[in-house]
Chains A and B, each alone.
Chain A
């Protein structure tokens, strides 16, 4: 899986947990929180959906890696690869 594909997976999750937001122009290097209304419970949603949909665990210490789309891609792509995806 490429980093762009990882970003797309994250965007699909964000689209579900923030259905009122326009996510078509999210910048990769800007904190998601600064571009849309996301609170701590929403970030837990991202963690939960990664677990449910893709069997990926994100330990609490690693939550900062989910701050931007780019950091999500950097952090999650190897995890997908480890699962053979």
Chain B
């Protein structure tokens, strides 16, 4: 399994012409002499990137700690929002995860580490177990950990400031764990410590687009041959920082509702903001030939993706750039809009943001995609921030097998400006086929990510 640091063997060619075949032969010589990277530059027509597949899923969501439980609740209208006391804020709404942290960690590790690290460790171990990989025999230096997160360090910094406030702000009481807890690579680093992984382990900071980014970056690293196995996705510990709550409240974007389970209501006229949640979803990604060689279960194939930036505002979305992101992802996947059977929206239930994403989706999908269903997972679990894209993808992956699209719940009065064709509202929808899922995740500072996962076809 271990390889040198080269691109994998993915040299294929359009066999329609002799000149292309010649390219391949020359290309093979170049590969031997220079490595695959030069091949892509010198003979772009002869280079096709390795196929990347999802072979394991580990997650914790506010309404489920396994994919089976999560999916069951998405198909049965079970949300996972509850009341939580937030420092300085009082009672707020939160999506709280209830996984058993002691399943993969000792008490001391929990005391020393962070919630983000703990969620990451749980998800990584669960994904590895699900993948069926003989991890004990795997070369640990050929494993990469790529964890998307919206932010990291706020929780620990707030906790420390609160702690020293009890000592008249004397900094000699500041914890010696502060720095290892707050470095940006902490969640990925804790996974490397827990699993003995010596390959690259770092986080990808991309606001609420980060969950998709973890998978996208992993696919890129696998294609570059930097690693042979990637643990990737996104996580969030955001409910443990008052700052995010206070910030959204100051933006008039924090959801309230007498019934917590009805608080997250994208596309509904009465939506009034974001429900902040924690969570995580990490996947094992492998090159297809490696997965096939070990007889792996394959959840889906990375079809295409795009990451772009609005370059227009700190917080306000840009529908034009979002649409551009979706279109480029389609081109990347070699698909047209009508080929997408599920669009999982990013919509966070803010009054403006939902409308703007719908505007972007309408621009790409219009009325000409009768087989495209559109849904939203945040209506069940709130906004899991850095985990959002990864968790929401996980909630939809089983559709490849059960051909059911989970609904967007809590839509009692659909906002006409969000009334997209194909919206699946309140009850699941059985469909004829699901060959491609398009997952949107957008974030502050105008970062957009679209990931397309295809049904695996050998």
Q: Residues on A close to B: CB < 8 A? A: 17-20, 37, 41, 44-45, 48, 51-52
Nearest opposing residue in chain A for B112, CB measure? A41
Q: How far is the CB of A16 from chain B (nearest CB, A)?
A: 8
Nearest opposing residue in chain B for A37, CB measure? B108
Nearest opposing residue in chain A for B106, CB measure? A20
Q: How far is the CB of B164 from chain A (nearest CB, A)?
A: 10
CB contacts (< 8 Å) of B111 on chain A: these are 17, 19
Q: In the complex the two chains form, is A52's CB within 8 Å of B173's CB?
A: yes
Q: Which of A17, A20, A37, A45 has the most CB of B within 10 A?
A: A20
B103 contacts partner chain A, Cβ-Cβ < 8 Å: no
Task: Tell me the complex Cα distance, A17–B167, Å.
Answer: 21
Q: A19-B106, A19-B108, A48-B176 are in contact. List 15 more A-B contacts (CB 8 A).
A: A17-B108, A17-B111, A19-B107, A19-B111, A20-B106, A20-B107, A37-B108, A41-B177, A44-B176, A45-B176, A48-B173, A51-B172, A51-B173, A52-B167, A52-B173
Interface residues of B in 281-316 (CB under 8 A from A): none
Q: Residues on B close to A: CB < 8 A? A: 106-108, 111-112, 167, 172-173, 175-177
Looking at chain A's contact residues, is the secondary structure mostly helix, strand, loop, or mixed? helix
CB contacts (< 8 Å) of B107 on chain A: these are 19-20
14 contacts between A and B (CB under 8 A): A17-B111, A19-B106, A19-B107, A19-B111, A20-B107, A20-B108, A41-B176, A44-B176, A45-B176, A48-B173, A51-B172, A51-B173, A52-B167, A52-B173
Task: Tell me the complex Cα distance, A51–B175, Å.
Answer: 12
Nearest opposing residue in chain A for B108, CB measure? A20
Q: How far is the CB of B204 from chain A (nearest CB, A)?
A: 27
Q: Which of B107, B108, B111, B112 has the most CB of A within 10 A?
A: B108
CB contacts (< 8 Å) of B173 on chain A: these are 48, 51-52
Nearest opposing residue in chain B for A52, CB measure? B173
CB contacts (< 8 Å) of A41 on chain B: these are 112, 176-177
Nearest opposing residue in chain A for B180, CB measure? A41
Nearest opposing residue in chain A for B110, CB measure? A19
Q: How far is the CB of A12 from chain B (nearest CB, A)?
A: 15
Q: How far is the CB of A47 from chain B (nearest CB, A)?
A: 9
